[in-house]
Structure formats: C-alpha cells, structure tokens
C-alpha cells in the first residue's frame, strides 16, 4: 500500500480546550490526524442525505461561542463535498458558533480562476462567494492553483504551502546529484525555481500547448534545458488526467533523460485515466500529499503520501493564538506570502 510520510517537526500538541475540530466526509482521516496533533477529539456531527439526495447536517453538541475549524477538501465528488461544507458552515452559524474557519486543503474549482474563452464562468470566485455567504469567517487552503484566488475572498484567506514537506522528502530519499527539476507549465516557473533552489538542481522548463474543447489534450513543443543522462523530477500542483505528466515524460525520454523519473504533486486528483497513464514503468515514484485521499490501487506500490496534518495543526494553533503564519515558511527560499 502507499507509504505515508510525515513532516520533519510532526509532534502531538498539548490539548487546546477552546478549539473544536470537525470534518465532513471528504477527508476524515486527515481531520482525525489534525485533531490528534492538537490533542482534541473530532467534534460529533451527523451527515446524511434525504431520499432525493439533499444533504442534511446536524451538530451533535453545543458549539455556542466556540472557535470552530471544519476540515473538508472539495475533492471528488466535488459538488457533493462543496455543498456538504456549505451546509455544515450554515449549521454552525445558526448554532451560534463564535468563529468558523473552513480548512479546505484542496480547493476545488481552482482551475476555473479566469476566463479562457468567451462566455465562461470564473467558478473559483463563485466558490469564494458561496463560502462567505454561508457564514465562514475565514478560509485556509493549501497550494492554490493560482495565488490570485486569495483576492477572490472578502473574508480572511490564509494560503499555506506544503512545498517544504515535499522538498524535505525529495532531498532525503532521492539522489539529487544527477537530477533536474522539471516544470511542465511555463506559468509555474517561479514555483519551480523555488523547488530547484531548495534542492540545488538545474531547472528545465517544458513549453506545452493544450488542445481539445476543455484543453485536456497536451502537446510538448519545446524542452528548455539539458536533460540528457539526467534523472527528472517533475513537479506540478495538480494531476487530474495525467495527460500533461505522461506527455512531458515521453518528451523527456526522447531528449535523452534517464527512465527513472519522480513525479511530485501537491494534489493527487488522479482520475482513472491518470491511474492508467502514470503506471508507465519509467515513472518510478509518485510523491503527493493527503489533501485528497488516494484511491489508486495500481499506483500504491510506487506512491508516497506526505501528510499535511502537522502543517494544518500548527497553522490552526497559530491562528487561534494570534501568532505569525509566515514563520512556518522561513525555510522557503523567498518568504511565502501569508
């Protein structure tokens, strides 16, 4: 099965009596780990559905005047988990909670943050509006597809990064002396530069073109940088269908890269198509986080899951105590803007 790694400073916290951690049905194991780090039990709630599929939530203990943190990724099924989160927020607001923080490790709809063609929605902004209207006082997310999404919120928005966790694993478990850091997206060169600087490896940029009605087809036109005889570490924020990764992997092999590749992604959406594509033997390891539960049986043997529980627990503690969040990222090359 997939191996789960933890952050370098993961430890259990002393119990914080006035923090309440709840979860929806999307990421219960991650929520349990976060609550465990804070020395708190998960709050009791009941989530069920009416016969027609309507979501129903009941909070099973008093939350009047309490500081509430709801851990819920809006991952597949996205609409179900998003609606569940909104209903939970409304339930806490009507139960007179003092402050409601939505911890959304994976922010669904983040790839719809701008109009690519005419007559399209900007759904990432719509989701921000929904969370605000439901009654959330602030939102915490990890590695948004676009940092500009922070500006979509009219409430406090905390943007965390799991980059140090992934870098620490790559640095300690992979021989980087003959490696190159590869980004398949020219729009994420700045993020890739941070990876490359932290790992002290050369950066290779792949220029891709998207095709198809929703841009799901990918063609690599240019590989900028030398990869001959090198071990590629391909980094991206989201892997959904795997088309970008597999196309880039083939282009790297054609350019002389070693058939020993590592793929490091923040959010493993991993549709059935991605599971089939990433099974190619030249991709020897996949490193991701537990912002989305991993359900890919054929990839388990070569997948390492890095837990973000300690990161979230420390962020919650600092938010609750009014302490700096930016200090969490002092080891990142440039200060991460929180």
Domain segments of the chain as ranges? 9-161+309-329, 163-306
Q: What is the pLDDT of residues 36-65, one digit of tens each?
A: 999 999 999 999 999 999 999 999 999 999
Distance CA 296, CA 222 (A): 31
- The DSSP secondary-structure symbol of 302 reads G
pLDDT of 268 > 60? The answer is: yes
Question: β-pairing, 203-211 with 179-183?
Answer: parallel
Residue range 112-121: mean pLDDT, rounded: 94
pLDDT of 11 > 50? The answer is: no
pLDDT of 98 > 80? The answer is: yes
Q: What is the pLDDT of residues 226-267, one digit of tens each?
A: 999 999 999 999 999 999 999 999 999 999 999 999 999 999
Look at residue 90 and give its three-state secondary structure.
helix
Alpha helices in 104-162 (DSSP H): 123-134
Sign of the dihedral defined by the CA atoms of residues 251, 257, 262, 266, in that order: negative
Contact 146, 109 (CB under 8 A): no
Nearest to 176 by CA among 232, 227, 245, 223: 232
Q: End-to-end alpha-carbon separation of the chain, Å?
A: 35
Across the chain, mean pLDDT equals 91
CB atoms within 10 A of CB 148: 11
Residue range 158-181: mean pLDDT, rounded: 95
Taking the domain 163-306, which CATH number applies? 3.40.50.2020
Q: Where are the beta strands (DSSP E) in 172-295?
A: 179-183, 203-211, 217-224, 231-239, 261-268, 283-289
Q: Which CATH number fits domain 9-161+309-329: 3.30.70.141, 3.40.50.300, 3.40.50.2020, 2.40.50.100?
A: 3.40.50.2020
- The DSSP secondary-structure symbol of 77 reads S
pLDDT of 272 > 70? The answer is: yes
Catalytic machinery residues:
208
Sign of the dihedral defined by the CA atoms of residues 60, 65, 66, 69, in that order: positive
Question: β-pairing, 45-49 with 55-59?
Answer: antiparallel
pLDDT of 212 > 70? The answer is: no
Q: Say if 9-161+309-329 and 163-306 have the same CATH topology.
A: yes
């Amino acid at each position: 099965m997939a191996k789960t790694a933890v952050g370098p400073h993961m430890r259990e916290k002393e119990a914080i009596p006035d923090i309440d951690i709840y979860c929806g049905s999307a990421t219960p194991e991650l929520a349990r780990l976060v609550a465990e780090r804070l020395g708190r039990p998960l709050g009791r709630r009941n989530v069920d559905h009416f016969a027609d599929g309507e979501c129903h939530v009941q909070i099973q203990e008093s939350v009047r005047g309490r500081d509430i943190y709801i851990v819920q990724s809006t991952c597949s099924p996205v609409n179900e988990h998003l609606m569940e989160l909104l209903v939970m927020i409304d339930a806490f607001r009507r139960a007179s909670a003092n402050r409601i923080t939505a911890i959304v490790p994976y922010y669904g709809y983040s790839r719809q943050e701008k109009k690519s063609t005419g007559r399209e929605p900007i759904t990432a902004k719509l989701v921000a509006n929904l969370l605000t209207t439901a009654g959330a006082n602030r939102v915490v997310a990890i590695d948004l597809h676009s940092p500009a999404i922070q500006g979509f919120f009219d409430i406090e928005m905390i943007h965390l990064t799991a980059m140090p966790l992934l870098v620490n694993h790559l640095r300690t478990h992979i021989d980087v002396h003959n490696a190159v850091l590869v980004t398949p997206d020219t729009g994420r060169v700045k993020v890739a530069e941070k990876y490359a600087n932290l790992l002290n490896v050369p950066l290779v940029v792949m220029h891709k073109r998207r095709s198809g009605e929703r841009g799901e087809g990918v063609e690599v036109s240019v590989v900028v940088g030398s990869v001959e005889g090198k071990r590629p570490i391909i980094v991206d924020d989201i892997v959904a269908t795997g088309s970008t990764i597999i196309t880039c992997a083939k282009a790297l092999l054609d350019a002389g890269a070693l058939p020993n590749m590592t793929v490091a992604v923040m959010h493993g959406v991993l549709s059935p198509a991605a599971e089939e594509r990433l099974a190619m033997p030249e991709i020897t390891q996949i490193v991701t986080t537990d912002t989305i539960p991993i359900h890919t049986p054929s990839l388990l043997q070569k997948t390492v899951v890095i837990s973000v529980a300690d990161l979230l627990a420390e962020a919650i503690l600092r938010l609750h105590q009014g302490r700096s969040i930016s200090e969490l990222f002092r080891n990142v090359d440039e200060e991460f803007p929180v």
